[in-house]
Amino acid sequence: EELETLWESYGMDTTIDWDTTVADYKLLSSYDIIILSSYGAHYEYMIKEGITEKIPGIILSEKATREKDELYANDLKMHRIAKVTVKGETLYAILPDFWTYYYGDGQLDGSFVFSESSEFMGTDENGDNSMADALLDSSVESVIGFCNNVLSNYSRELMKAYVNALMNGYSSESAFEYAKQVCGENDYID
């Protein structure tokens, strides 16, 4: 609420949804700045029977149910979303093909995406730009995300500095450089 109040005071129409669902992710085309603030992981997903592939996923807090599996059946079958188990709960995860399928005709043209999710860009052992590439193929202006795990305080402060710079007329690249100057190059503590 503090962030929403701050950005609204700057004149930015702001919507914050803490409990996003797969259905919510299908309604992003009207937003200029999209912040993906959720768990992320580089999981091994079954692509076809007996064939797995390790790709990044944005893990939602939406719990999988039989009814939702039926609702999302095509997305599950086509590997636009997946089900993952986190701390004993089965949740849905957005996969790269989701962006290509739902926004591949340029519906996100000119939007800025900042992902606070860990492993959004894979891991050191397996760097993976597939999530960012899918978003860029959907005409997103720029994508910022993290490789490996990231401390939430660092990612949140970097995101706020980045968005504030965008609101002050910075280009995406200069906004990102400004945010790194304010917050540091990474979340390591010396």
Contact at 8 Å (CB) between 167 and 153?
Answer: no
Question: CA 141 → CA 2, 57, 131, distances in Å?
Answer: 27, 21, 14
Contact at 8 Å (CB) between 108 and 135?
Answer: yes
What tokens does 9 get?
């005071």
pLDDT digits (tens, 9 = 90+) for 100-127: 999 999 999 989 999 988 888 888 777 7
pLDDT digits (tens, 9 = 90+) for 75-88: 999 999 999 888 89
**DSSP code of residue 33:** E
